[in-house]
Amino acid sequence: MKKNNIYIITGGTMVHITPHFSICTPAYGKVGRELYAHLMSKNINEQYTIYLIKTKMAGVNSDETIEHLKGLTITKAIETNDDLEVFVDIISKENQTASIIMSSAICDFEPEELLGYEDETPVKITEFGKDKKRLHKAHSLELKLQPSRKIVDSIKKNNPQIFLVTFKTTAGSTKEILVKKALYNLKRSSSNMVFGNDIQHKINLIVTDKDEVLSTENRASTLELFTMEFFKRIGTK
């Protein structure tokens, strides 16, 4: 059976600490929508079925996508890191998955320990989630964070044949540093391509698993270059 499904995952995720108290990476799906438009315009003869998967933060998925997700047993919006991890695990093991483009902004941290007050009584919390007890009165809080799991690193372990695209975002870095960090991400996750961008200096570039660094003068043309390179290489991985 031909592997013809391409998944573009976009939008931010959050981690719930207690009811009405969460940490998140605010991202609303712009990059994913741009990539989806570019890939759809170059999907000659509809060779691939391309799904734009929005996290809850990025908005509502299309009716077609919702029906497809139901077929994968995903019946609720992808909101948290855990939700995204479940979804990625499912599609990375699906026989028809040709590519996963991880443009989502995953929350980089999760809570390890929370010190606060319940009324006047000091409390220490080490179990977190919306289903836990809410702090109703907090004079002050001390929140200890730990790095969240690298969801993307499981994809190639589940299926080495998937054409994997990941993203590296910096703020205020030089092009050289961005390239270095993008290459590190590429090697760590066994990605086929990494789209790198610096949100302050407006640098956009692509690194590949052939040690190529591709860039143009602006974001729009880099997205166009990415699209051409993606379709050129997805069939030759």
What pLDDT shows up at residue 217? 82
Say if residue 174 is in the same domain as residue 156. no
3-state SS class at 52: strand
Tokens read off for 89: 């695990």
Say if residue 21 is in the same domain as residue 97. yes
Using the structure block, give the residue that is written with the tokens 């006047």.
120
User: Minimal CA–CA distance to 98: which of 210, 213, 187, 230?
Assistant: 230
Say if residue 190 is in the same domain as residue 237. yes
Contact of 180 with 203, CB cutoff 8 Å: no
Contact of 94 with 2, CB cutoff 8 Å: no
Say if residue 199 is in the same domain as residue 142. no
Say if residue 17 is in the same domain as residue 127. yes
- Using the predicted structure, report yes or no on whether residue 28 has a pLDDT greater than 50: yes
What pLDDT shows up at residue 47? 87
Contact of 119 with 26, CB cutoff 8 Å: no
Using the structure block, give the residue that is written with the tokens 């999907």.
43
Which of 134, 161, 188 is the endpoint of a domain? Answer: 161
Tens digit of each residue's pLDDT (9 = 90 or more) over 112-170: 999 887 777 888 999 999 998 887 766 778 999 999 999 999 999 999 999 999 999 99
Tokens read off for 180: 């270095």
Say if residue 184 is in the same domain as residue 137. no
Tokens read off for 174: 């030089």
Say if residue 93 is in the same domain as residue 169. no
Range of the domain at 235: 165-237
CB-based contacts of 7: which residues, under 8 Å, 6+ apart? 51, 53, 91, 97, 99, 100, 101
Q: Which pLDDT band holds residue 208 (cuts at 50, 70, 90)?
A: very high
What pLDDT shows up at residue 4? 92
What pLDDT shows up at residue 236? 52
User: Minimal CA–CA distance to 55: which of 8, 96, 99?
Assistant: 8
Say if residue 75 is in the same domain as residue 28. yes
User: Minimal CA–CA distance to 166: which of 139, 201, 197, 145?
Assistant: 197
Helix residue ranges, H only, the chain: 30-41, 63-71, 81-92, 155-158, 175-189, 219-234
Pairing of strands 109-118, 14-18: unpaired
User: Minimal CA–CA distance to 51: which of 70, 38, 64?
Assistant: 64
Which of 161, 195, 224 is the endpoint of a domain? Answer: 161
Domain containing residue 108: CATH number: 3.40.50.10300
**Length, in residues, of the chain:** 237
Say if residue 7 is in the same domain as residue 98. yes
Say if residue 153 is in the same domain as residue 193. no
Say if residue 134 is in the same domain as residue 147. yes
* Residue type, position 119, single letter: D
What pLDDT shows up at residue 1? 45
Helix residue ranges, H only, 72-112: 81-92
Say if residue 237 is in the same domain as residue 204. yes
What pLDDT shows up at residue 116? 82
Which of 136, 161, 186 is the endpoint of a domain? Answer: 161
Indicate if the alpha-carbon torsion angle 187, 222, 170, 14 is positive or negative.
Answer: negative
**How many domains, in total, are found in the chain?**
2
User: Minimal CA–CA distance to 62: which of 70, 54, 71?
Assistant: 54
